[in-house]
Amino acid sequence: MSLLNLHLKVWRQNRGHSGHFQDIEAQDIPDHASFLEMMDIVNERLIAKGEEPFAFDHDCREGICGMCSMTINGVPHGPEKATTTCQLHMRKFRTGDTIWIEPFRATAFPVIKDLVVDRGAFDRIQRAGGFVTVRTGSAPDANAILIGKEVADAAMDAAACIGCGACVAACKNASAMLFVSAKAGQLNSLPQGQPEKDRRTIAMVRQMDKEGFGNCTNHYECEAACPKEISVRWITKLNRDYAVAAVKESLIGHQERAEGGE
Amino acid sequence: MSAVLDSLSRFYASSIGKKILVALTGAVLVIFVLGHMIGNLLIFAGPDAINEYGHMLQTSLHGGGVWIARLGLLAAVAIHILATVQLTKQNRSARQDPYGQHKAQVSSKSSRAMIWSGMTILAFVVYHLLHFTVRVGNDYNSDAYKTQLHGETVHNVYKMVIDGFSWAPASIFYIIAMALLYSHLSHGVSSLFQTLGLTTHRTAPLFKTLGHAYATLILVGNCSIPIAIWLLGYGG
């Protein structure tokens, strides 16, 4: 084990106020520590000195919860490909390195404190259509609906999205298209998602627009930053599903009813 | 009626709706650029070929054809610009607090500069129309630029192009504009397939290569004209 001496530039901000970078010298950081453990060590020392520790989000620390949202040296979740911040280790850095640590920056992700942002916008998009309506009661037969292996695998790829927001953070336009396309695409691919497909697609895109995310300009930085390697082909599918749903909504509208409907 | 208009305006108001319009109008302009280039390369087939082509454009559908094309292209350009300017403004406001450090990992400079290459191309198009279509600040509308073709008096497109590009500043501006058009197309062509939902895992690399090849073709084809005339003395 070797020890690293690092120069940190950490973003400090309180909700509703403007922020700034604070320079912190992080001495004697073990190279087998994870990035979050390094942050813990630095915070312990700040507390011991009577200074305020910096706030950061974390939960499972095993790469599946999507809480550890921070931009490290200009890349969400740091330099390791397909890795969340909690799974990034200090051996990826060299002694003497300067490390910039910032929150995921987007108007739709307001900073709560320091590195902690409010990603409630994602929850509201999910509530708009990221579900299937099912009858409650006894559990249905698992194989009552046949699903091709390829379809199930593809849906599983989309379902791997942990909603961390790295796609928004990496995008030049702070667009949420990769997240929305994975969540809509997962359900739109499966038979269970078909009855509400058009309604879901339109509702999720509308909520995404309402939250103030930017627009996709096909740079694919989201895919490069995604810790779960969600493919931008889900965005292609969302574009396609949205076009079809919008045309149907414009020209056909809701199902005609004998009673006069609506 | 109003229900259809309501949903159309909701479609335009949405992010994907605007992008689809940008892609569709972009496709129209992409095809136009190729046709325009092929027509103009007739300059290398001699005066009669390009003069006859110009005369054909001017007189098709009793002179109506060129106006249908112009109005169609004007509409495409207007929608393309209006939607992209609105999208860009939304993109700017989607991140008001900039990063201290922000690293682009995979995107090209061309893709990140679309609004700037587009704006320069717009300025160029205005200049180009004043130069060769309206013919302001030159005497290309005078009798010196009329010629006889199959017993008819037609506009001497050949002489106009040779004279136009013999002036170095015009040729240089055209070449710069074509370089920016190359940049714009190198991202735009493959991008439009993505926005229209046509790209697949298999076709993505193909569309990317196709986009670059197309942009290169347009760059080489269009630049060959000012370079031949201005630097190599073609037609002089």
**Is B155 a residue whose pLDDT tops 90?**
yes
pLDDT above 70 (res B125): yes
> For A154-178, how does the pLDDT look when each residue is reduced to its tens digit (9 = 90+)?
999 999 999 999 999 999 999 999 9
ipTM comes to 0.94
Tell me A191's DSSP state: G
How far apart are the C-alpha atoms of A101 and A175, rounded to whole Å?
21
Whether the CB-CB separation of A61 and B89 falls below 8 Å is answered with no
Angle between helices B64-93 and B114-128 (to 10 degrees): 150
Mean pLDDT of A247-254: 83
Give the whole-angstrom CA distance, residue A262 versus residue A25. Answer: 64
Q: Give per-residue pLDDT as tens, A120-160.
A: 999 999 999 999 998 888 888 888 899 999 999 999 999 99
B1 has pLDDT over 70: no
A198 in contact with B at a CB cutoff of 8 Å? no
Three-state DSSP class for residue B7: helix
Residues A11-21: pLDDT tens digits? 999 998 999 99
Tens-place pLDDT, residues B87-120: 999 999 999 999 999 999 999 999 999 999 999 9
Per-residue tokens: B172: 């240089």
Cβ of A233 within 8 Å of Cβ of B16? The answer is no
For the cut 70, the answer to whether the pLDDT of residue A254 exceeds it is: no
Structural domains in chain B?
14-90+108-231 (1.20.1300)
Q: CA nearest B18: which of A209, A188, A249, A212? A: A209
- The pLDDT tens digits of the residues spanning B41-74 come to 999 999 999 999 999 999 999 999 999 999 999 9
Distance from chain centroid for Cα B45 = 23
Residue type for position B40: N
Chain A environment of B99 (Cβ under 8 Å): 71, 74, 102, 105
Instruction: Identify the pLDDT of residue A261.
Output: 45
- What 3-state class would DSSP assign to B134? helix
Question: Could you tell me the pLDDT band of residue B4, with boundaries at 50, 70 and 90?
Answer: confident
Question: pLDDT (tens digit, 9 = 90+) per residue, A60-108?
Answer: 999 999 999 999 999 999 999 999 999 999 999 999 999 999 999 999 9
Work out the mean pLDDT of chain A and round it to a whole number: 94
Q: Kindly state the greatest CA–CA separation across chain B.
A: 70
The predicted structure's pLDDT at residue A253: 76
- Of chain B, the percentage scoring pLDDT greater than 90 comes to 94
Quick check: B19 contacting A, CB < 8 Å?
A: yes
CB contact under 8 A, B97 and A221: no
Instruction: Dig out the tokens for B135 from the structure.
Output: 């013919």
**B93 to chain A: closest CA residue:** A107
**Residue linked to tokens 């493919």:** A231
Selecting from B95, B101, B195 the residue whose C-beta is nearest the C-beta of A74 gives: B101
CA dihedral B220, B226, B227, B228 (to 10 degrees): 100
pLDDT at residue B5 is higher than 90: no
Nearest alpha-carbon partner for A173 in A216, A209, A206: A216
Looking at residue B6, its pLDDT comes to 87
pLDDT at position A1? 77
Domains in chain A, please, with CATH?
A: 3-102 (3.10.20.30), 119-251 (1.10.1060.10)
Q: What is the DSSP string of A99-113?
A: EEEEPPPBTTB-EEE
Work out the end-to-end distance of chain A between its first and last CA atoms, rounded to an integer number of angstroms.
69
pLDDT for the residue numbered A134? 84
**Closest CA in chain A for residue B4:** A250
Task: Quickly count: other Cβ atoms within 10 Å of residue B150's Cβ.
Answer: 9
Q: Tell me which of B102, B109, B116, B206 to substitute to probe the interface with A (most A C-beta atoms closer than 10 Å).
A: B102
Q: Find the residue in A nearest to B107 (Cα).
A: A219
Contacts of A232 in chain B (CB under 8 A): 194
Alpha helices in chain B (DSSP H): 2-13, 15-40, 47-59, 64-93, 109-112, 114-128, 157-166, 168-195, 204-226
**C-alpha B216: how far from chain center:** 14
Q: How far is B73 from chain A (nearest CA, A)?
A: 23
**pLDDT value for A138:** 86
Q: Is the pTM of this model over 0.90?
A: yes
Mean pLDDT of A176-181: 98
